[in-house]
Structure 1
Amino acid sequence: MSLVVLTGGPGSGKTTLIDALERSGLARTEEAGRAVIRDQLAVGGRALPWEDRERFAELMLDRELRSYHEARAAPGAGPVLFDRGLPDLVGYLRLEGIPLPARVHTAAGELRYHRTVFIAPPWPAIYAQDAERKQSYEVAVRTYEVMAEVYPEYGYELVELERVPVAERVAFVRSCLGVGSST
């Protein structure tokens, strides 16, 4: 089984692509950041990127670790898609100017994904803010740049996705993963 990460800045089509890949039969995980934000908003919590960034990062680490271990333990031989991975947390901390805890560095270095990581570039034509995505487009671009730095630092090879329709992105990712066309 291979654990495959899709990363990039907010609003670059990652989740839309992963949703489409899931519909084509591939397994996936949920993006930790969005899940934490949704949970915190639902319970009136403060572990939000616009209130308590350090606590938000801790909860993202917990969720990423759980997703990683659940995917590793799941039956099946096909790829499991991750909407961001542990190195994204390193990038988030770097972007926010928060010191990198040793446990985050260790997790990002020791818990490995497929060597090839897909990165979605900034795409102004599809970028939009919502209740969980409050970053400006400029922050989305900087997030992409940081992820493009961080993943190679942890030994991953980045493959940039083209700004093409979702169906073309699906076909490209499936081809790269060697899983053929969707059913």
Structure 2
Amino acid sequence: MGFLNKIFGKKNKDETTNLDFYNEGEEEDVAFARKFKAGGGMFFYCINREESLHYLQEILKNEDISEVLCVDPKLISMINLLDCNYSTQSTGDQDIALINCEYLVALDGSIMISSDQTHHLKKSDLPKKIIVWATPSQIISSSSVGLAKIRYAKKNNIPSNITSIHGNQVQGFSSISTAKKLYLLLVEE
């Protein structure tokens, strides 16, 4: 009878309370940061652009980066301030990519990106290390909310290749081959 109970009913209290979503009442920004870090992401909260430049420089120095892949003109201006080599075209030789994102997903700590950020590169073609520059206003509750916002905001020009990236410690078979070493610079607006 114990076998049938395991299949059809009588759930353990531990099984019903051990859901891996964010806690009820937990703020979305706190939930995102907790899940992002648990998945192997490195989180840097920045009070302004100057502090984000400091952290960016430290990341590039600590990772011993020789060339950055970056296609966003605003982010390129930041790289220029740091006097770092960059390329706007993927050659496969770049050590790291600096991108922005569509949204930060609180439900699972992932970062939603599209062809607008990756210049039409597939997730698997991006460097193994990625620095994402984002703001707190980009934190949303779930991927479905992000997709709805993209459809609404960009209804005449919906980007292709909308996907999510995770840190390199995410559990699950689907993310193993595309897991990245992720840095997030969350910059106050």
Give TM-score, length-normalised by structure 2: 0.30
The structure carrying a bigger strand percent of its residues is 2
Using CA pairs below 8 Å that are at least 6 residues apart, which structure has the higher relative contact order? 1
Greater Cα radius of gyration, structure 1 or 2:
2
